Amino acid sequence: KKKHAIIVISEKITDVHQLAKKISLNTGFSGRATVLGHIQRGGSPCPFDRMLASQMGEKAVDLLMQGIGGQCVAIRDNKIVAYPIEKALCMPAESRKPLTNLFERLG
């Protein structure tokens, strides 16, 4: 009885925009396609974007196959991890000051 669904598709499997149209035409859902690499990092995806998306997608599918939903998949300390969405929304943002300082020293 849910009123929404998220479909995760690896690149090159199908035309996601065409699939979104078919979903809209044949179901009660509003189909929309989003390329995560474009949203998360901006611009066209580079090889790192594709690898990160694949790793995060694998983690999300593994969780779902274990019957675990409602998770936020993230990268933390160069590891792909998951947190319950409620916990993730309450987590404080990490300071980017060390990266800013590095950039200033190198600039």
Instruction: Give the three-class secondary structure for 71.
Output: strand
DSSP structure class, residue 13: S
pLDDT at position 71? 94
Tell me: the pLDDT tens digits for 26-37? 988 888 888 776
Contact 57, 8 (CB under 8 A): yes
Structure tokens given for 85: 């969405």
- Asked if the model's pLDDT at residue 91 lies above 70, the reply is yes
pTM of the model: 0.55
Which residue type does 80 have? Answer: I
pLDDT at position 68? 95
